[in-house]
Structure 1
Amino acid sequence: MTQIKINVNNQPVSVISPISLNELIALKQLNSDGTAIARNNAIVSKKAWSTTYLNDNDTVDIFTLVAGG
């Protein structure tokens, strides 16, 4: 295992590699319902989260729907 640096929503984060997008969501304690993820400016389908692994210096943007009005 290796430690890598990634940017999550413009915040630098150090994580242990290998780490998938599913594992990142769990690490951040986020609910996957209503959540979308872009890796290096490309949207990743929810079906691919478990097989999409992050690399050093990747940029991840996590979008979560918020209800309200």
Structure 2
Amino acid sequence: MALPLALSIVLVVSGLWTLIVWPPFLRRILKDPRSRNEHGAPTRFLKVHFMLITTSMILGAATLVIGIRTLAA
């Protein structure tokens, strides 16, 4: 699939942004006292944030790959 150069660059930048921004947020969530209950088990707070971050990172990686592939085409 051929895209204009500017759109390919937007996809690459968007993918990189996602992969750079979310990991530090995940580290903060893991350190948050609301992430574990008094027995050390994960709470809903941790599970929901983990799923949101994981989904965002997967979509970011896919966006990056698509951007790189359109640049290479």
Q: What interval of TM-score do these two structures reach, taking the shorter chain for normalisation? A: under 0.3
TM-score scaled to structure 2, two decimals? 0.21
TM-score scaled to structure 1, two decimals? 0.22
Relative contact order higher in (CA < 8 Å, ≥ 6 apart): 2
Larger radius of gyration: 2
Higher helix proportion (structure 1 or 2): 2
Higher strand proportion (structure 1 or 2): 1
